[in-house]
Amino acid sequence: MDTRYDVELVAVSKRYGGTTAVDNISLRIPTGSYTCLLGPSGCGKTTTLRMIAGHEAITEGDILIQGSNVSALSPIERGTAMMFQSYALFPHLNCLDNVAFSQKMRGIGKAERHAKAREFLALVQMQDYAMRLPSQLSGGQQQRVALARALITRPRVLLLDEPLSALDPFLRIKVREELKRLQRELGITFIHVTHSQDEAMAMADMMVVMEDGHIRQAGPPREVFERPVSPFIARFIGGHNVLPSDRGPIAVRADRCWLGTAGDGPRVTGRVVAVEYQGTMVRVALATDPGDEASALVPDSQFYEHPVAAGDAATLMWSERDAHLLAEA
């Protein structure tokens, strides 16, 4: 058994009639890592997660968990736990009994299962809410109870389906910090589906970017951000300008661009279409003369020394060393 990987997908496909949702993907997820699957709606990320969980049957290929082929096993036999986007808490049970439910189904006595449930409620800092019903909790509190209920099964792999999407932006940041802390402390593999690039970059050890049922790029967040392999990845990850060059399409980070005319180097002319104040930075969006969209993230102090407004002519500049050659779209 190769202990370096907790989950392996080997040429996995999923078809619904004549529609292919996931097309012949292979992936190795390192042991004890936090992996995020992301991509636009309909890219196949949630279907992939559900196939790992056993909630969707694969059409072709194999899924291995800790070296064992689980493709034909039921969800309960796989050693995984899934935390759903809706949290799916039982409305008639208090937090303690929600968390203890799987223990009850295994025939564990009330005192023992409640003691274990209290331990896991404490792990997610919800021990003081043990007797409350889900309806008496905020969305963030419900999410923590659902997490405790998933973790009490001691899964080999925890699967999370857009677990932060229902939370407000401030709470989302707090909870993603909590998830990452728990993953590190527990040392188990988390696989997290999200549509948020910021969320994936903040949390993941490995980002897996999908499009049209294919994996387009997988790697550490910094590697994907610094060296996107294609115009799709550069645009989807965000923060990049995709521009034509003599060698082919290039990606240039918006924070490595500036507005000006002085000096030598690559540049493109255009007209300002929007100015967005973002606190420490100001985003200046341009429609270039060749017909592309581009932007510069300018430090606020620099911007206000030489401000521009929508409708102004402008020149976007960058250093050659900051241009990253992309594969053709």
178 and 209 in a common domain: yes
Assign residue 44 the CATH number of its domain: 3.40.50.300
CA distances from 263 to 241, 267, 298, 319 (A): 21, 10, 18, 11
Q: Does 304 share its domain with 210?
A: no
Give residue-wise pLDDT tens across range 232-277. Answer: 999 999 999 999 998 899 999 999 999 987 677 899 999 999 999 9
CATH of the domain at 315: 2.40.50.100
Q: 143: pLDDT confidence band, cut at 50, 70 and 90?
A: confident
Q: Give the orientation angle of helix 169-186 with respect to helix 139-151, to 10 degrees.
A: 20
Work out the average pLDDT over 130-150.
90
Mean pLDDT of 99-117: 91
Residue 235 lies in a domain: no
Distance set, CA 55 to CA 58, 71, 208 (Å): 10, 11, 21
Q: Report the residue count for the chain.
A: 329
Domain contains 237:
no
Shared-domain flag, residues 170 and 317: no
Question: Is 246 in the same domain as 156?
Answer: no
**pLDDT on residue 118:** 95
Give CA 122 to chain center in angstroms. 26
Assess whether pLDDT exceeds 90 at residue 83.
no
pLDDT at residue 39 is higher than 90: yes
| Same-domain status, 31 and 88 | yes
SS3 257: strand
Q: Among 226, 257, 275, identify where a domain stops.
A: 226
Q: Distances from the Cα of 65 to the Cαs of 82, 110, 194, 314, in angstroms?
A: 14, 32, 22, 54
Does the residue 234 lie in any domain? no
Contacts of 123 (CB under 8 A, 6+ apart): 148, 151, 182
Does 35 score more than 90 pLDDT?
yes
Regarding whether 316 and 283 lie in a shared domain, the answer is yes
Cα atoms in the Cβ-side hemisphere of radius 13 Å centred on 50: 16
In which region does residue 44 sit, left (phi positive, over 0), alpha (psi from -120 to 50) or beta (all else)? left
62, part of any domain: yes
**Global pTM value:** 0.89
pLDDT attached to residue 265: 84
155 and 207 assigned to the same domain: yes
**What is the SS3 assignment for 107?**
coil
Q: Is residue 166 part of a domain?
A: yes
Asked whether residue 111 is domain-assigned, the answer is yes
User: Both 19 and 167 in a single domain?
Assistant: yes
> Do residues 293 and 188 share a domain?
no
**Residue with the two structure tokens 């990320």:** 45
**Over residues 115-129, mean pLDDT:** 92
Q: Which residue has the tokens 């392999």?
A: 229
Total of domains in the chain: 2
- pLDDT greater than 80 at residue 166: no
* Confidence (pLDDT) at 318: 95
Average pLDDT in the 43-49 region?
A: 96
Q: Do both 316 and 250 map to the same domain?
A: yes
Provide the residue type at 167 as one letter: L
β-strand pairing of 240-243 with 250-253: antiparallel
**Domain containing 268: what range?**
242-325
More confident residue, 17 or 166: 17
Taking the alpha carbons of 107, 112, 118, 124 in that order, is the dihedral positive or negative? negative
Q: Are residues 35 and 159 in the same domain?
A: yes
The pLDDT mean for the chain works out to: 92
* 303 neighbors 282 (Cβ within 8 angstroms): yes
Lowest mean pLDDT among 16-30, 161-175, 204-218: 161-175
- Shared domain check, 204 and 273: no
Res. 171 pLDDT band, cuts 50 70 90: confident
